[in-house]
């Protein structure tokens, strides 16, 4: 873990929040001690609720390395990733995550990270999204075609 990488993430976050790009969040992705990508929250700038720093950093790193597997990379984030970003880190197969503020710190300045964790953990009765399962049989046919596909690339 190196302070200079968190400094880069924090510097990006500061720039972004001062320019009204989004919340005070930054992230960098490191491979062999080199910065592969850096990003800050751009939810407001891009009108994109998925434009969190970690998601943008992962997308940039994948594009740069031309692969969706970032298992040889580390990620630094100024805040504990929300469930969206934490799951994205898993999908990217990143093994090491260094973060600054906690989800409780984020909740204290008005962000829902902690609430979404509670919904997923089922430790709250509050609910924002109504989930209904329907047409499973129709969708299972897609899964069967995937299972039987000879040239599939599992990821």
Q: Which of residues 76-135 bind a second copy (CB under 8 A)?
A: 78-80, 82-102, 105-106, 108-110, 112, 115-117, 119-122, 128-135
Which position among 42, 54, 74, 80 bears the catalytic label?
A: 54
CB closer to a second copy, 27 vs 32: 27
Rounded least distance, CB 37 to a second copy, Å: 12
Catalytic residue list contains 54: yes
DSSP label of 2: -
Question: Within a 10 A sphere around the Cβ of 33, how many other Cβ atoms?
Answer: 9
Backbone angles phi, psi at 154, to 5 degrees: -75, 140
CB closer to a second copy, 20 vs 34: 20
Work out which of 33, 49, 125, 150 binds a second copy, going by CB under 8 A.
49
Rounded least distance, CB 109 to a second copy, Å: 5
Q: Which of residues 1-40 bind a second copy (CB under 8 A)?
A: 1, 3, 6-7, 10, 13-14, 17-18, 20, 22-26
Closest CA to 49 of 111, 100, 129: 111
Which two tokens mark 19? 């320019």
DSSP label of 70: -
Q: Which residues neighbour 55 within 8 Å (Cβ) at sequence distance 6 or greater?
A: 84, 85, 88
Site string for a second copy, 55-74 (x = CB under 8 A): x--xx--xx-xxxxxx----
Backbone angles phi, psi at 150, to 5 degrees: -75, -35
- Give the catalytic positions in this structure: 54
């Amino acid at each position: 873990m190196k302070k200079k990488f968190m400094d880069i993430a924090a510097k990006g976050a500061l720039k972004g929040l001062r320019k009204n790009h989004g919340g005070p969040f930054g992230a960098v992705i490191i491979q062999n001690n080199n910065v592969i990508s850096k990003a800050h929250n751009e939810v407001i700038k891009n009108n994109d609720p998925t434009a969190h720093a970690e998601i943008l950093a992962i997308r940039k790193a994948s594009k740069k390395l031309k692969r969706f597997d970032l298992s040889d990379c580390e990620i630094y984030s100024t805040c504990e990733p929300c469930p969206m970003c934490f799951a994205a880190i898993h999908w990217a197969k990143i093994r090491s995550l260094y973060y600054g503020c906690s989800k409780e710190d984020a909740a204290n300045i008005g962000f829902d990270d902690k609430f979404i964790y509670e919904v997923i953990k089922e430790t709250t009765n509050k609910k924002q999204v109504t989930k209904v399962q329907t047409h499973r049989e129709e969708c299972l046919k897609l899964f069967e075609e995937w299972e039987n596909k000879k040239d599939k690339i599992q990821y």
